[in-house]
Structure 1
């Protein structure tokens, strides 16, 4: 099932996600639906807060970047209760976007190397190192379960320049080809 993606401005995007256990209701179906939603929206990652659930779950399929980095071919993973163990290296800029913030792309500085502890969809625990684009995608999605958005990593001047665009997104004044829920429209419908 294709789930609506929560737009910028919804308070759920600012909440730290709660840990879940393997008895979380409908978990496997949720994971399947999150991948379907991500593919429909042409994304490479999607976190549970982006579909309205404040839990520590995100999915990634970095295959669209395989032309730039062969190690990303078939790089498809589920991260449950993920924790950042380490970040290292010299930060580098890369242009990022977010399905919850359509039509805005900005250069974001992130570490090139990370170590993550997480459970996969079969509840196997992993402590794994990631580098390059894989690390970047994971950090972006990890930020979501920590209640952070990539726009928070921008300079105050850049954020001020984007303010009206961000407000328009929260009001639903954006053209997207996937289902979204807009916080300002939600308030009006009460």
Structure 2
């Protein structure tokens, strides 16, 4: 028996209270924090413990949720991903992903995104996924292009940090484009006749 949330390298799971140390460690690298979102003020160990405990019991709001990305080989949390901007009427959503620096370049982000997209397109009936990537983040742009995302535009001087404004590249993928490249797996694999 398999799980839609498990790949060869990673599994996606809920955040557990004991994950607080891993998130604290990931947030310690300012460039990682900026690549994922923005730089936040330092948080105490107790703040991380409380945040992880809250995340562990937090119910999804519609189709917006956050998941831990867990390395199957190393049995450690390597990052997180979350859905954003879900719009069931229009059939679109976005997501964000962050993998800790020491776990990058191992295929974790690629597999985690494919697992998420397979769920959102194949189980939740969304039609399109859009993501915004900082224009300077070449690794993330390469990841999304390799996954099959198409560049749809650029938001000029859209985000401010490090003393100036930066462009954001908008990329998108439809369910048909995903299916052509990655597929949804055989129905028999899920136990459905």
TM-score (norm 2): 0.26
Greater C-alpha Rg: 2
TM-score (norm 1): 0.26
